[in-house]
Amino acid sequence: MNIKIINKSNHDLPHYETIASAGMDLRANINESITLKPLERTIVKTGLFIELPIGTEAQVRPRSGLAAKKGITVLNAPGTVDADYRGEIGVILVNLSNEDFVIENGERIAQLVIAKHERADWEEVEMLSETSRGQGGFGSTGVK
């Protein structure tokens, strides 16, 4: 699938690191470093603008290395870029660690996954079919 992109950043286009990678790294496109204090959040711009085909979305997801090693994650994970959005892709980062984290220009801050999706039409009914699970949720299928 081809996706139109405008790159106003100083960095290469996002790309897949391996043949089986689902996501492409997004890089910070900032003029000066940003210090993210513990529990602080900020939107980090990427300099990228995309035009997705209808029926697809771009999911902005955390990078596992940043999350595991530094406690940095995407606050609204996964963030969604809709097919009709034409603005700059921004990443809402949050620092869940106890230490300041400095974001530098060009730093890999998130990953972007392109995914197809369905659109649903509601069918309003009076009753739903019964299942063995029923209304059990929030851990109800786990071991007791």
pLDDT confidence of residue 143:
59
pLDDT confidence of residue 16:
97
The ranges of the chain with pLDDT < 70 are 139-144
Domain boundaries, the chain: 4-116
pLDDT confidence of residue 142:
67
CA angle 65, 27, 2 (to 5 degrees): 110
pLDDT confidence of residue 6:
98
Rounded to whole angstroms, the Cα distance separating 125 from 84 reads: 31
Residue 27's alpha-carbon distances to 1, 21, 86, 90, in angstroms, are 22, 17, 18, 10
- Token pair of 86, please? 């034409």
pTM: 0.89
Fold that domain 4-116 belongs to in CATH:
Deoxyuridine 5'-Triphosphate Nucleotidohydrolase; Chain A (2.70.40)
